[in-house]
Amino acid sequence: MKKTALFLAISLFVLFFLACGGEKGDDTPENTQPAQNDAAENPEDSESAGEIMATYDYLPEKDYGGREFVIMTRDGGWDTCHHIEEFVVEEQIGEVINDAVYKRNLIVEEKYNVKIAIMLTAEVSNEMPGLIKRMVKSGEDSVDLVCAHQVYIGQTAPEGNFLNWYDIPCVDFAQPWWVSDANEELSVDGKTFFAISEIAYELLDYTYCVYFNKRLVSDYGLENPYNVVNGGKWTIDYLMQTTRDIYVDLDNDGKRTMDDFYGFASNTYSAGNTFIWSLGGKVMEKDKDGRPQLVMNNPHMADMVDKLYTLYFDTPGSYGLNKTSEKSIEWPYITAQMFKNGQVIFNTGMFCDALVRFKDMDDDYGIIPFPKWDENQSSYYTMIDGHGPLLAVLQTEQDPEMVGIITEAMSAESYNFVTPAYYEVALKIKYSRDEESVQMLDLIKSGIKYDFGYIYDGWQGVAFGLQDMFASQKKDFASYYEKKEKSALKYYNKIIDMYYDFGG
More confident residue, 345 or 503: 345
For residue 219, tell me if it sits in a domain. yes
For residue 50, tell me if it sits in a domain. no
CA-closest candidate to residue 438, choices 204, 224, 226: 226
Same domain flag for 253 and 141 = no
Same domain flag for 260 and 406 = no
Neighbours of 350 (CB within 10 A): 28
| Residue pLDDT, tens place only, 269-284 | 899 999 999 999 999 9
Buried b (16+ CB within 10 A) or exposed e, 417-431: bbbbbbbbbbbbbbb
**Is the CB of residue 103 less than 8 Å from the CB of residue 57?**
no
Type of residue at 379: S
SS3 266: strand
| Residue pLDDT, tens place only, 314-337 | 999 999 998 776 777 877 789 999
SS3 38: helix
More confident residue, 487 or 355: 487
CA distance 459 to 101: 33
Give residue 122's pLDDT: 63
Q: Average pLDDT, stretch 239-253? A: 97
Total structural domains in the chain?
A: 2
Neighbours of 394 (CB within 10 A): 21
Alpha-carbon separation of residue 297 from 290, 480, 484, 495 (angstroms): 20, 10, 11, 20
**Domain range enclosing 332:** 208-381+462-482
- Predicted confidence (pLDDT) at residue 471 exceeds the cutoff of 50: yes
Per cent of the chain over pLDDT 70 is 88
Q: Which secondary-structure segment (H or E) carries 485?
A: helix 477-501
| Residue pLDDT, tens place only, 94-145 | 999 999 999 999 999 999 999 999 998 865 557 788 889 899 999 999 999 9
**Is the CB of residue 296 less than 8 Å from the CB of residue 283?**
yes
pLDDT band at residue 159 using 50, 70 and 90 as cut-offs: confident
Same domain flag for 358 and 425 = no
Give residue 216's pLDDT: 98
More confident residue, 484 or 6: 484
Same domain flag for 240 and 159 = no
For residue 500, tell me if it sits in a domain. no
Same domain flag for 239 and 194 = no
Give residue 429's pLDDT: 85
pLDDT band at residue 51 using 50, 70 and 90 as cut-offs: low
- For the CA atoms of the chain, what is the radius of gyration? 22
For residue 487, tell me if it sits in a domain. no
Is the pTM value of this prediction over 0.75? yes
**Is the CB of residue 276 less than 8 Å from the CB of residue 265?**
no
Give residue 29's pLDDT: 31
pLDDT band at residue 388 using 50, 70 and 90 as cut-offs: confident
Same domain flag for 193 and 264 = no
* CA terminus-to-terminus distance, the chain: 42
For residue 164, tell me if it sits in a domain. yes
Same domain flag for 266 and 132 = no
Length reported for the chain: 504
For residue 436, tell me if it sits in a domain. no
Q: Average pLDDT, stretch 419-439? A: 89
Give residue 263's pLDDT: 98
Q: Average pLDDT, stretch 233-250? A: 97
* Mean pLDDT (the chain, rounded): 87
Same domain flag for 293 and 173 = no
Dihedrals φ, ψ of 218, to 5°?
A: -70, -45
For residue 493, tell me if it sits in a domain. no
Same domain flag for 110 and 238 = no
Q: Average pLDDT, stretch 149-177? A: 90
Same domain flag for 288 and 329 = yes
Per cent of the chain over pLDDT 90 is 68
Q: Return the half-sphere exposure (C-beta side, CA atoms, 13 A cut-off) of residue 127.
A: 10
Give the sheet arrangement for strand 67-73, strand by strand.
Answer: 114-120, 67-73, 145-149, 389-392
More confident residue, 400 or 82: 400
Same domain flag for 259 and 365 = yes
CATH (domain of 88): 3.40.190.10
Same domain flag for 419 and 350 = no
Give residue 23's pLDDT: 36
